[in-house]
């Protein structure tokens, strides 16, 4: 794709990397060289990166992504998991009464270690795929205070994010406006979270709908962050979606750079 020409400094809160070449059968996970090249084409100068889904512990994958970030315009988030079922049904609630953390699950000590390892600047959580951390882990996340990027959609909707995460004192960035895959009702619910929780932010990846993005940016200009969803979506496409919105230029500047850099200071100009 041709390089985009725009006058904005753009940073990205949502890029998935796969450090193991044997696990890249499609474009849902990417290699560092391709991602860096596509970021350059789109004018994205820095991005949050995290590993793709896998079974068992994320320790090796997290460390590999951190190594891939060295001397590249990436900042690494550690992917975490848990033993609890994130579903809201009675069966899940019953299972959670007896659920216990196993060796491959993220522990409070893991959170502390990641938080004080300067290679990681936040956490990535996909409860529907990786399970929901227990209260001790969530309390440790609150203690360290780093941002948590949370998959939001039909498998873990805004109501679940509010119930399980937002009462804790750490910034929560809700992916896809809480509406993956392109569910308008859930997207509206994600925007409504911004009215109730100052610690909640939304990322723009895979949203696609103009009206709710414009509404969120106009009503909450300080809490919408650009996320491309690369490599499944080319950063060029994601940037263009914001550039074509009917919002003021200053609001675009907030979405592209100011808001993400406030949530993740390492995305700021000083981190380059």
Q: For residue 72, give Cα distances in angstroms to 47, 110, 237, 241, 269.
A: 10, 25, 22, 25, 14
Contacts of 23 (CB under 8 A, 6+ apart): 29, 52, 54
In a domain, 119, yes or no: yes
What is the structure's pLDDT at 88? 72
Summarised one tens digit per residue, pLDDT across range 100-109 is 899 999 999 9
In a domain, 91, yes or no: yes
Could you give the number of structural domains in the chain? 1
Summarised one tens digit per residue, pLDDT across range 171-200 is 999 999 999 999 999 999 999 999 999 999
In a domain, 184, yes or no: yes
What is the structure's pLDDT at 3? 67
In a domain, 3, yes or no: no
Summarised one tens digit per residue, pLDDT across range 33-74 is 999 999 999 999 999 999 999 999 999 999 999 999 999 999
In a domain, 233, yes or no: yes
Sign, CA dihedral 192-95-125-165, equals positive
What is the structure's pLDDT at 25? 59
Q: Are 73 and 36 in contact (CB under 8 A)?
A: yes
Q: Of the ranges 48-52, 95-99, 192-196, 257-261, which one carries the lowest mean pLDDT score?
A: 95-99
In a domain, 266, yes or no: yes
pLDDT surpasses 70 at 90: no
Average per-residue pLDDT for the chain: 93
Q: Considering the entire predicted model, what is its pTM?
A: 0.94
Strands 74-80 and 10-17: unpaired
DSSP state of 72: T
In a domain, 170, yes or no: yes
Nearest 5°: phi and psi at 156?
-155, 80
What is the structure's pLDDT at 2? 55
Q: Which residue has the higher pLDDT, 70 or 99?
A: 70
In a domain, 5, yes or no: no
- Print the domain residue range for 42: 10-271
Q: What's the CATH number where 90 sits? A: 3.20.20.140
């Amino acid at each position: 794709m041709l390089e985009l020409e725009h006058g904005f400094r753009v940073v990205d809160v949502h890029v998935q990397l796969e450090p193991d070449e044997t696990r890249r059968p499609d474009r849902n996970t990417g290699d560092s060289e391709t991602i860096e090249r596509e970021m350059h084409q789109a004018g994205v100068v820095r991005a949050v990166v995290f590993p793709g889904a896998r079974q068992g512990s994320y320790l090796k994958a997290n460390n590999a992504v951190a190594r891939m970030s060295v001397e590249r315009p990436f900042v690494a988030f550690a992917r975490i998991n848990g033993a609890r079922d994130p579903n809201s049904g009675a069966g899940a609630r019953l299972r959670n009464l007896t659920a216990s953390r196993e060796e491959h699950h993220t522990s409070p000590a893991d959170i502390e270690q990641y938080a004080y390892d300067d290679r990681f600047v936040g956490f990535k959580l996909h409860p529907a795929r990786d399970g929901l951390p227990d209260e001790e882990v969530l309390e440790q996340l609150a203690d360290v205070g780093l941002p948590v990027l949370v998959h939001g959609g039909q498998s873990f909707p805004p109501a679940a994010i509010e119930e399980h995460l937002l009462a804790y004192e750490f910034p929560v960035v809700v992916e896809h406006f809480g509406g993956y895959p392109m569910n308008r009702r859930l997207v509206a619910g994600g925007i409504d979270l911004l009215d109730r929780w100052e610690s909640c932010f939304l990322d723009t990846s895979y949203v696609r709908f103009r009206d709710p993005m414009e509404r969120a940016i106009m009503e909450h200009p300080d809490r919408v962050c650009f996320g491309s969803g690369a490599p499944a979506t080319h950063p060029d496409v994601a940037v263009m979606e914001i550039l074509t919105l009917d919002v003021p230029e200053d609001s675009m500047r907030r979405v592209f750079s100011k808001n993400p850099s406030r949530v993740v200071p390492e995305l700021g100009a000083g981190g380059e």
